[in-house]
A and B are shown apart, each in its own frame.
Chain A
């Protein structure tokens, strides 16, 4: 079906083409700029702790380590197995403390409590603490992302 009149003028069409072209050029640069501005988050693949740290795990105490830019804690669970946590509160990201005498993790920001296995038991935290896998390997303690 041939239209009697064109739906839009040649000038409007050309304007849209030009605008679209300039927008395409601009958009091609948005992605690289975004990649630059929004940095990728890099986590370590593993953290190695010396075997000597095991000595410090008496009396329900824990050993702190750095998991990238976040704090981590290595301790022994009820059954004596090694446990590793990322000690960042799941509520609003404050760093939590391990209280060996209370056998609980405590977050001072909004009085959040986690039990010895990192499960949230009181206060605002919505989820348990993030677990990492801890294993003995060739005398060192290797901490990795939980599979």
Chain B
């Protein structure tokens, strides 16, 4: 159990720190590429359907990476939330919330 926690915490920190490294460039290069690539499709509206421009392969990979990163972070956050929910349920079962009238007080560490 303890090992799992450490791994998840480490993964979470890594994911958060990797924020700079991975997702933004994937979007920035896409945005940077936008004025160059989009000139052609902009002419299309006169006749047919306008589709979102097909992404060049590099940006396609970038989007997949971003989605993987996002879901990984969501997974880690769900794990943390699970820990917090179990803790909150445990605290509730001790009758802590019934026992006082003031708003949430948390025990301070010594």
Which A residues have a C-beta under 8 Å from some C-beta of B? 5-9, 11-12, 14-15, 17-18, 20-25, 27-28, 31-32, 35, 40, 42
A9-B107, A12-B109 known; A21+B16 contact, CB < 8 A: yes
A5-B109, A31-B24 known; A24+B16 contact, CB < 8 A: yes
Residues of B contacting A25 in the complex (Cβ-Cβ under 8 angstroms): 70, 73-74, 77
Chain A interface secondary structure, helix, strand, loop or mixed? Answer: helix
Q: Mark contacts of B4-29 with chain A using CB atoms, 8 A cut-off: 1 yes-contact digit, 0 otherwise.
A: 00000100110110010001100110
Q: Are B73 and A11 in contact (CB under 8 A)?
A: no
Residues of A contacting B83 in the complex (Cβ-Cβ under 8 angstroms): 14
Q: Are A24 and B15 in contact (CB under 8 A)?
A: yes
A14-B83, A35-B28 known; A20+B109 contact, CB < 8 A: no
Give the number of residue pairs across the A-B interface with Cβ within 8 Å.
Answer: 64
Q: Are B35 and A40 in contact (CB under 8 A)?
A: yes
Q: Are B34 and A40 in contact (CB under 8 A)?
A: yes
Q: How large is the interface on B (under 10, 10 to 19, 20 to 34, 35 or more residues)?
A: 20 to 34
Q: Mark contacts of B63-107 with chain A using CB atoms, 8 A cut-off: 1 yes-contact digit, 0 otherwise.
A: 000100110011011001101100100000000000000000011
Q: Are B27 and A32 in contact (CB under 8 A)?
A: yes
Which B residues have a C-beta under 8 Å from some C-beta of A? 9, 12-13, 15-16, 19, 23-24, 27-28, 31-32, 34-35, 66, 69-70, 73-74, 76-77, 80-81, 83-84, 87, 106-110
Docked complex Cα distance between A3 and B106 (Å): 22
Closest Cβ of chain B to A27, distance in Å, is: 6
Considering only CB atoms, which chain A residue lies closest to B107 in the complex?
A9
Q: Are B109 and A6 in contact (CB under 8 A)?
A: yes
Docked complex Cα distance between A52 and B1 (Å): 83
Q: Are A31 and B27 in contact (CB under 8 A)?
A: yes
Closest Cβ of chain B to A123, distance in Å, is: 36
Considering only CB atoms, which chain B residue lies closest to A4 in the complex?
B110
Docked complex Cα distance between A93 and B4 (Å): 61
Docked complex Cα distance between A142 and B110 (Å): 76
Q: Are A21 and B28 in contact (CB under 8 A)?
A: no
